Amino acid sequence: MSNQQVALVTGAASGIGLAAAEALAASGRLVALADVNRETGEAAAKRLGGFFIQADLSTRAGCKALADSVLAKFGHCDILVNNAGIQHVAPIEEFPEDKWDFIISLMLTAPFLLTKYFWPGMKERSWGRIININSVHGLRASEFKAAYVSAKHGLTGLTKTAALEGGPQGITVNSICPAYVRTPLVDGQIDAQAKTHGIPREEVISNIMLKKAVVKRMIEPSEVGDLVIYLCSDSAVCITGTMLTIDCGWTAN
């Protein structure tokens, strides 16, 4: 077993998760990358010198299997980045019930379960960093995103509760709440919003995604990765239970 810090990033094959994994690997941590996409996940892990685990985090069995794999491989997990997520855009009356169940399971239940599974080890070592990749939608709502907004608001509550319990144990728990980040997930949202609103992609970006932003640009995944590294540093030891926004001024409104 290595004495290096071990970090687990979920949804690590692309987008914010990949950026977080890249940043953690560059900072000298051993990184476990979890994703449903084996091909891209394995390629990323090989490039970063990390360890890939294919995982379906929409099920409790999948979450437990992932935790067991990390502990079997490394013996401990010091940093947990809960990032895995999807989006589905539809009016409430048309929102598929199975999509609701899937999104809540993946984006709220899975972070809770992984936090639960790694908590005893962090507590035993009196050190842990749990970073929930939340969203500006964990603080604000938008129409046609009932499941996503509900899951992210729930993640806000989980972050605060875990922070209160973790503080005396040396475990900090925070949420990063970005606005629209330039990722494959957001690219898919552009098409979905265009269809829902009946407007071109360009208007989705300018009139919907960047409408409430003061800084009129998309956020780069690496900017979120940089904040992950800061929250794992000694300088951030007193930061816990917070929702740190990278939102181009959205929530200043």
CA–CA dist 173, 249 (Å, integer): 23
The number of C-alpha atoms within 13 Å of 91 and in the hemisphere containing its C-beta is 5
Q: Output the CA–CA distances (angstroms, integers) from residue 168 to 2, 12, 30, in the order listed.
A: 26, 30, 26
DSSP3 helix / strand / coil % (the chain, rounded to 5): 55, 15, 30
- Indicate which residue of 117, 148, 180, 230 is catalytic: 148
List, in order, residues 6 or more apart from 7 with CB less than 8 Å away. 21, 24, 29, 30, 31, 32, 77, 78, 79, 80, 81, 232
Q: What's the chain's Rg over C-alpha atoms?
A: 17
* 148 labelled catalytic: yes
For 138-157, letters b (16+ CB in 10 Å) and e give: bbbeeebbbbbbbbbbbbbe
DSSP string for 78-90: SEEEE--------
> Which two tokens mark 168?
């005396």
Q: For residue 105, which amino acid is it? A: S
Residue 22 has phi, psi (to 5 degrees) of -60, -45
> Where in the sequence numbering do the catalytic residues fall?
148
